[in-house]
Structure 1
Amino acid sequence: MLAVRGLRKSFGGRTVLDGFDLRVEPGEFVALLGPNGSGKSTALRCVVGLETPDGGEIDVSGNAAMVFQKIHLVGRRTALDNVCSGALGRLPLRRSLFCPHDVRDEAMRCLDRVGLADRALDRCARLSGGQQQRVAIARALCQRASVILADEPVSALDPQAAVQVMELLVDLAGEGMTVVAVLHQPELARNYAHRIVEMVAQ
């Protein structure tokens, strides 16, 4: 579950978020729509700690992981290696220097969940944009996230790849995860999200 109450954030005297509230339950997929500058991405970044809010409260049940528009994979490493990196935060330093067998097994299950087990040993640079985004989602699953925040996850993808990623996010919500996605495509929000939250620029 994700609960945001009274979230406030300003940059250089410009208010981006002013009392933003949002509650998303387990199993729910919420789409955030709104113009540039309305604070959609900033709200997600505050939830995962990439930005420090000026005020308000954020409650997350379990772990939150973020999937970005710019996918942030290491292109020269394999899909499996990239997914394994999702476990680094919970490994002791001595184990984080290499990928233990149990983590590799878990990462393979995550890749299988996103339909890419057969591409596990391919370098990410050789994967399509849609495949790379699914690897990024698998990495979030390897973080054992219960909340997935997706910031424009399909804006750089072709229509077929976008549908695959959206269907995957819907399926993850159906398995009990909390999913919030920033979208700029109202038709995708209407077709896939359980609920749409429209934000306005301050």
Structure 2
Amino acid sequence: MLAIRGLLKSFGGRTVLDGLDLRVEAGEFVALLGPNGSGKSTALRCVVGLETPDGGEIDVSGSAAMVFQKIHLVGRRNALDNVCSGALGRLPLHRSLIFPDDVREEAMQCLERVGLADRALDRCARLSGGQQQRVAIARALCQRANVILADEPVSALDPQAAVQVMELLVDLAAEGMAVVAVLHQPDLARKYANRVVEMRTVVAA
């Protein structure tokens, strides 16, 4: 599903990624661990095009969607509308503010998948942090992504909400997606991931 080969990235003369190789298969949940500055988040951002690599190759079978630590939902809009926004990339521009019935139906299915169909019409600002993160995952599902990239998805959540989000990511991998999560909790990584990859800070020559 995801193959990264020789990925290079520097910022202001500081090398962050120095030849990263990573392969994630369908049905696999990979956790990335490592200190701040080791390039974990940068690698995910390169995959979805938020950063431009300086070198290397990235191959994605299908498409990839990102789930962020800062959840980036529109708080005044309801959960359903936020999930529908995952379909914007495939809608004509003139329909981007009014979601057609088929998109709304698909978004409801995505909310049902994350256990929040009953909160579809609630404003996201009224949802808990864990519920908001699950809405963000539903939005990624509405993008029809084959690869889910989660950048510290549980760092701002209480333990119970963190478990719910981690179990959801495990379930998505079990359904055939490739899931990569940046984590700072080694215990969660060992408990939930199929494979743990440790990244290290690049040492200047």
Report runs of 4+ in structure 1 exceeding 2 Å deviation. none
Partner of 1:178: 178
Structure 1: how far apart are the matches of 2:97 and 2:184?
A: 39
Letter in 1 for 2:130: G
Matched, 1:100 2:100: yes
Structure 1: how far apart are the matches of 2:125 and 2:93?
A: 28
SS of the residue corresponding to residue 104 of structure 1 reads helix
| Unpaired runs of at least 5, structure 1 | none
Deviations for 1:156-195, whole angstroms, at most 9, x for unmatched residues? 0000000000000000000000000000000000000000
Structure 1: how far apart are the matches of 2:62 and 2:153?
A: 22
Partner of 2:6: 6
Shift of 1:93: 1.3
Superposed CA RMSD in Å reads 0.4
Structure 2: how far apart are the matches of 1:138 and 1:21?
A: 29
Deviations for 1:103-122, whole angstroms, at most 9, x for unmatched residues? 00000000000000000000
SS of the residue corresponding to residue 88 of structure 1 reads helix
| Unpaired runs of at least 5, structure 2 | none
Partner of 1:132: 132
Structure 1: how far apart are the matches of 2:92 and 2:3?
A: 30
Structure 2: how far apart are the matches of 1:102 and 1:94?
A: 16
TM-score by length of 2: 0.98
TM-score by length of 1: 0.99
Partner of 1:168: 168
Structure 2: how far apart are the matches of 1:77 and 1:93?
A: 19
The 5 A counterparts of 1:36-75 are 36-75=36-75
SS of the residue corresponding to residue 6 of structure 2 reads strand
Letter in 2 for 1:110: C
Letter in 1 for 2:74: V
Letter in 2 for 1:50: L
Shift of 1:86: 0.2
Deviations for 1:61-118, whole angstroms, at most 9, x for unmatched residues? 0010000000000000000000000000011112223110000000000000000000
Q: Percent identity?
A: 89
Deviations for 1:16-38, whole angstroms, at most 9, x for unmatched residues? 00000000000000000000000
SS of the residue corresponding to residue 35 of structure 1 reads coil
Structure 2: how far apart are the matches of 1:96 and 1:159?
A: 36
Structure 1: how far apart are the matches of 2:159 and 2:78?
A: 25
SS of the residue corresponding to residue 157 of structure 2 reads coil
The 5 A counterparts of 1:116-127 are 116-127=116-127
SS of the residue corresponding to residue 146 of structure 2 reads strand
Partner of 1:198: 198
